[in-house]
Structure 1
């Protein structure tokens, strides 16, 4: 098939947009665009000339349109934001990069928390629109972090009176009374990741006061039993380590004016052998109920080190190959895994 001839277009950047903000210090963001596209990109003044095959040229035009819109909205660009914008455009997602990367959830000490992928934005939107939300996905996809940011946002906006954070202390079988030390010393190792996230979102000096007043409660799942939780934003983390009975117990704590977010990774279940995960079966039970939403995140939504996303994808591919091999019929007279003669 004949190669498509390149075409050329010129993009005029509005005078109100700083070229340094758009292209980055020492053209760092321009270099990212050149690496991501099979295109020649030249800049002269506020004019960007793009030479590429028609499909690539259109994508480059769309990218700079989005980057200009982000800068004009008052948000700064990063190399990561440019790379994620390219990924969204190539995936032809219905969400524009501008809509995803300018959705501010929370700002604290000069740091703003916002979604970084289409999957994360849809998850955040679902939290706004539903009462019970399940977020299932691998490590590093922001499941719990974004939920906590939305909880703090709701508390600050007086939409709820308190935040309740819980996770199963599965390593102790939730039999905390048998562990040495005070209650705080017993549960602290299991809940420390939630405290760490809180310190990113709230002035650390005010956290002890909020905990003492009960405005923020961090407790193991066993301590939810028998309660009705009204006017609260409730987050169950590490939900893959709940049994179906524990999951039912937790969900039925929901009171008036409350919202629940349940997060977990069904590939990292630490339950004793033979115990089924409440998170794995809950979709079959609640999938058709109104005001219950299931968000599934994947390796494309990983926002930690880039290598983490590739590791997650590699494990997914390995599991898919292993499942395919286990379902393949074995020829009579040949042991599984041996080559044909």
Structure 2
């Protein structure tokens, strides 16, 4: 016997369509909300393909499922909060806002910041020559907050997640606020395919390529003309890790970059340089270790040793926090999947070789 569903019952099974109207205040031109050529609106439509979104005048109408509409309403509220600060929106900030709001919707226990993307995008760390440096993702915001709260912070994550750049911005901010009297930037001079001895020039000229990324970031944050004077006075020091041995660093903001290329002994040596009224930030990517074979990365071991020590914090960033070209995040994910597959293949038990016919 074939049963039929009554029409009324079938109608109840179909999710009810909802509609919401979002009025944009007249003080915000629609081009600042929807983007040039409706570029922001296109990002939103792509992220919510089940919603029908239309803009007319200063009114935006969204029709579809209630959850999607609720997220879109929240999104536009957050976009308005960003615009009120005078900061322009970008396609990237709209995409990241959607990702944060979705994460908060899926996980009610997610950090408070994920429910308020505007708080992340308007958290200014440093301004120089009309350019502001601020976190761009929730994990970056948590990382910056951890630097404020803890004496030693480890920023661990793939390339392009802003680990070193944000740490240096916090260092310059601390120096300008007279919280410290000097900034010390250091890196291990470990070869990545080249040998120091084969490079031309003096010791300083050989080491310079390893420290160049730190100089480049400094030029973004401090007037380039004042950097030589600050370095001559010892207010800013950029030096190889080996130069830290035997020192006690007081009243300083110290950053160890590329920490995955330290040995366990070097990591211990560096951390024990900490003096009074100082702060240490250690950054690195455990997937890009250039140490010679057989040497274990100090950054890998330190997580096991100091994971439970009070006033030491480990901030972990992921491919979702990459703020370079979008392809960088995809490259990081692809390499991560490849490495995981290789490890699984190596760990899998080998099948016994079947005996040959002439074997007894």
Corresponding position: 1:34 with 2:49: no
State whether structure 2 residue 329 is matched by structure 1 residue 332: no
**Aligned equivalent of 2:133:** 113
Which entry has the higher C-alpha Rg, 1 or 2?
2
Could you say what secondary structure the match of 2:21 adopts?
A: strand
Paired with 1:7 and 1:44, the residues of 2 have a C-alpha distance of: 19
Matched with 1:132 is 152
Structure 1 window deviating more from structure 2 (158-167 vs 8-17): it is 8-17
Structure 1 residue 168: Cα displacement: 0.4
Q: Which position in structure 2 is the counterpart of 1:338?
A: none
Matched, 1:290 2:336: no
Give the secondary-structure state (helix, strand or coil) at the position aligned to 2:238: strand
Identify which of 259, 272, 275 aligns with 1:252.
272
Q: TM-score, normalised by structure 2?
A: 0.88
TM-score, normalization by structure 1: 0.93
Is structure 2 residue 82 aligned with structure 1 residue 62? no
**Unaligned stretches of 5+ in structure 2?**
1-9, 105-109, 356-360
Q: Say whether 1:102 aligns with 2:122.
A: yes
Match of 1:88 among 100, 116, 120: 100
Unaligned runs of 5+ in 1: 336-341
Partner of 1:181: 201
What does 1:242-281 align with in structure 2 at a 5 Å threshold? 242-281=262-301
Residue 63 (structure 2) aligned to one of 46, 51, 63: 51
Deviation at 1:18, TM superposition (A): 3.0
CA displacement at 1:24 relative to structure 2:
1.8
The residue matched to 2:185 in structure 1 has which SS?
strand
Give the total of aligned pairs. Answer: 334
CA distance in 2, matches of 1:334, 1:74: 72
Following superposition, the deviation at residue 43 of structure 1 comes to 1.5
Q: 1:316 aligns with which of 318, 333, 336?
A: 336
1:79 is matched with 91
How far apart, in 1, do the equivalents of 2:293 and 2:156 lie? 21
CA deviation map 1:233-266 (0-9, x unaligned):
0000010111111001100100111000000011
